[in-house]
Structure 1
């Protein structure tokens, strides 16, 4: 095979792998009444409060979508909005006690589920995968 054919094959494999991983995540978080975007926001907030304006950039969704997702998570009582005392223009998304309890329960299970995806790779294989995919991703961004 020539280089161009292998490059096209690589793109197909990367996209199919991404879809398969997303499906595992979708099914996993659906068990808790969440969609992947809601879970991504909860996961980010589990690490610490975030200005709503910055959440979208960190989990790669639009600011309009973030408002909708935060609204849904507020309705489910997992997240609340909290003003920034130093800057009234900034609103933080904060986990509620219910949200923290949910993440305390489901996050360890999620880590195990993600680990199952990588069962066939050792640490070196995982690090090599990260390095190569970053290289491809950065190159694609520069085009």
Structure 2
């Protein structure tokens, strides 16, 4: 049996850059959203997913899978969004186990108010420093990683 396949210098550079940037970017985007709209990045992402869904609603299990998050962490975030009046829950009459998260009008308004500042921060901190070729390479590379993580070919 072979030992571990260690990272070479090229791989180590890419991995450390990814870890550093994702951590820094996540913190900066969280700070911007919290300052400008009182939302965490995860809460913003929940509102975005619900806004894009048919009838502005998703099953909690679908939402957790889409966000690659634990159901308990999602439940906590939905509780907070529900207390703020941005989301409501509804049960499914045909499947008592199914619970849907539904975007409210106040949630849609909050999202519309938060989006311009968030998009500007994403542009400034992530998109603007990259060339079109770098952006394509990142999208292609991270797309491949995402497919692997989802078990796709």
Structure 1 position 24, deviation (Å): 2.0
- Residue 85 (structure 2) aligns with: 77
Is the CA contact 2:44–2:111 (under 8 Å) kept in the aligned structure 1?
A: no
Across the aligned residues of Structure 1 and Structure 2, the Cα RMSD in angstroms comes to: 2.2
- Structure 1's consecutive aligned runs of 4 or more residues displaced over 4 angstroms after TM superposition are 136-142
Unaligned runs of 5+ in 2: 1-6
Q: Secondary structure at 1:27's aligned position in 2?
A: helix
- Residue 49 (structure 2) aligns with: 44
Unaligned runs of 5+ in 1: none
Q: Which stretch has the larger CA shift, 112-121 or 71-80?
A: 112-121
Q: How many residues were matched structurally? A: 140
1:58 to 66, 75, 96: 66
Is the CA contact 2:60–2:101 (under 8 Å) kept in the aligned structure 1?
A: yes
> Which structure 2 residues correspond to residues 1-143 of structure 1 after superposition, within 5 A?
4-31=8-35, 32-48=37-53, 49-116=57-124, 117-136=126-145
Query: Normalising by structure 2, what TM-score?
Result: 0.80
Q: Secondary structure at 1:34's aligned position in 2?
A: coil
Q: Which stretch has the larger CA shift, 82-91 or 69-78?
A: 82-91
